[in-house]
Amino acid sequence: MKLLLLLVTIGLCSAQYNPNTQSGRTSIVHLFEWKWVDIAAECERYLGPNGFGGVQISPPNENIVVTNPYRPWWERYQPISYKLCTRSGNEQQFRDMVTRCNNVGVYIYVDAIINHMCGSGGGAGTHSTCGSYFNAGSRDFPVPYSGLDFNDGKCRTGSGEIENYGDANQVRNCRLVGLLDLAMEKDYVRGKIAEYMNNLINIGVAGFRLDAAKHMWPGDLKAISDRLNNLNTKWFPAGARPFIFQEVIDLGGEAISANEYFGVGRVTEFKYGAKLGGVIRKWNGEKMAYLRNWGEGWGFMPNDRALVFVDNHDNQRGHGAGGASILTFWDARLYKMGVGFMLAHPYGFTRVMSSYRWSRNISNGKDQNDWIGPPTNSDGSIKSVPINADATCGDNWVCEHRWRQIKNMVIFRNVVNGQPFSNWWDNGSNQVAFGRGNKGFIVFNNDDRNVDVTLNTGLPPGTYCDVISGQKEDTICSGKEITVNNDRTAHFQISNTAEDPFVAIHVNAKL
């Protein structure tokens, strides 16, 4: 009886930290601003076959339509209602996407905007993606929410805005950049939010990213998460809880820290990309050799609470945290090394970014075009993602997740899942290597001279195909071949001028 109780308790406590991905699938990808019809197709033709565990989608609920500037990506972070109706698609298309992705074992994670509605200056009318009437001035939203449901009375700053991030009350009770802040201690508001999320759960989603979690009280989030249904048993085991990961930007030194949110779910570890970018860019004397104790050894949150990423939709364009050290597709060579390192390393649950290109205009240290929305047709609708003959994407969709090096490292992570961090080597500088037990091994050369070294890989003897310079196709390797000797050592040569100065081998790419 006691044992049973204990097991039940452990089950309840650990549930929302489990991404619910299918066994052997260890990463998700953020298909930022993609349409539901394109995501459904991508699940079937690419993500399922290549071992991706899931997709973080852009917010699916009705948002304000902003025309000045014209249709910025951030309009989707300004909800008008919880109807499933956005530039990404309508409810029927959403349901079809969830069903088709789930059916190929790729699960959907919703970016949930529950802290606030649109900006206080959003006006009144039907300029919303479903055409619903709202009035920001009178706090009238078709959820319905009224003036009673917002924090206007509770915020103690003169402007009603967050003025001081050193004051936790302001951060949580005042408006974030003008966004109308919901009174989440109200049972009614909690009920409406839970109703929205439960509708998504019943349709079949596997979990949620909680946007702006730092701006909500952890107790309110706990109360809402306790009201969530179990996942849909058509695809998930009975009793499975929705995965929760919370956007809390904590680079240290603020009134609110990530660990306040561990009771609700996982938390985004923003130190990860900021620090890794600094190391790979070799700023301030940072070296890859210092990555030997990467993870908790760097002051990051506990491994089983961390959601990690090299860049996200905010900090790839200078929003949010991390600053200029963040690696993105704009620095492709370094970016591939950064994502490769993340996917090879055991720390955290990993999310890969998939972006669109925009015309940057960096002046005064800021990208003046950081607002630009996804590729659109002349009527403002989002363009579909065309797939080229070489499997890359067209029309300014970057599709980092389809880059061979990144896709193959997503597979690498699946292959080495559960294996220990092992056989670390470094040259005291920016040449480093490590393995994952006897399943995989990776070597980086981020220095200005060649790597020419024999290392203990831990892998069974044989000939392996490097999945960075190429990949195993049937019995052929389209890239470098690496021979592991009977004593498990292998010789690695990596030019510092190679297109991709790193090599990765794993047991599923053995020839």
Asked if 237 touches ligand NAG (CB under 6 A), the answer is no
CB 260, min distance to ligand NAG, A: 38
Segment lying near ligand NAG (by CB under 6 A), choices 35-43, 57-65, 79-87, 447-455: 447-455
Tell me, what DSSP letter sits at residue 370?
Answer: T
Could you say whether residue 230 binds ligand NAG (CB under 6 A)? no
Per CB under 6 A, contacts with ligand NAG among 332-371 are 361, 363, 368
Over 166-206, what HEC string results? CCHHHHHHCEECCEEEECCCCHHHHHHHHHHHHHHHHHCCC
Applying CB under 6 A, does 247 fall inside the site for ligand NAG? no
Taking the least distance from each CB to ligand NAG, the nearer of 400 and 447 is 447
Q: Which is nearer to ligand NAG, 361 or 454 (CB)?
A: 361
CB atoms closer than 10 angstroms to residue 378: 5
Binding of ligand NAG by 431 (CB under 6 A): yes
Q: Is 91 a catalytic residue?
A: no
Q: Which residues are within 8 A (CB) of 415 and not within 5 positions of it... i.e. 6 or more apart?
A: 439, 440, 506, 507, 508
Q: Per CB under 6 A, does 449 bind ligand NAG?
A: yes
Catalytic residue among 247, 250, 447, 500: 247
Please count the other Cβ atoms lying within 10 Å of the Cβ belonging to residue 263.
Answer: 13
Could you tell me the CA-to-CA distances from 132 to 65, 71, 121, 125, 178 in Å, in that order?
11, 17, 17, 8, 21
> Residue for token digits 């349709």?
203
Per-residue x/- marks for ligand NAG, 365-404, CB under 6 A? ---x------------------------------------
Give the β-pairing of 502-506 and 440-445: antiparallel
SS3 472: strand
Binding test (CB under 6 A) with ligand NAG, winner from 427, 456, 493, 508: 427
Catalytic, 247? Answer yes
Q: Which among 503, 417, 421 has a CA at the least distance from the CA of 465?
A: 503
Alpha helix positions (H), 416-482: none
427 in helix, strand or coil? coil
| 448 makes contact with ligand NAG (CB under 6 A) | yes
Catalytic residue among 42, 181, 211, 447: 211
| Residues 118-177 close enough to bind ligand NAG by CB under 6 A | none
How big is the site for ligand NAG, counted in residues (CB under 6 A)? 10
Closest CA to 65 of 143, 125, 111, 120: 125
**Which residue lies nearer to ligand NAG by CB, 126 or 361?**
361
* Closest CB 429 distance from ligand NAG, rounded Å: 4
Which range binds ligand NAG by CB under 6 A, 42-50, 279-287, 305-313, 443-451? 443-451
Assess 428 for contact with ligand NAG (CB under 6 A).
yes
Position 147, amino acid: G
**Chain positions contacting ligand NAG, by CB under 6 A:** 361, 363, 368, 427-429, 431, 447-449
Which residues are catalytically annotated? 211, 247
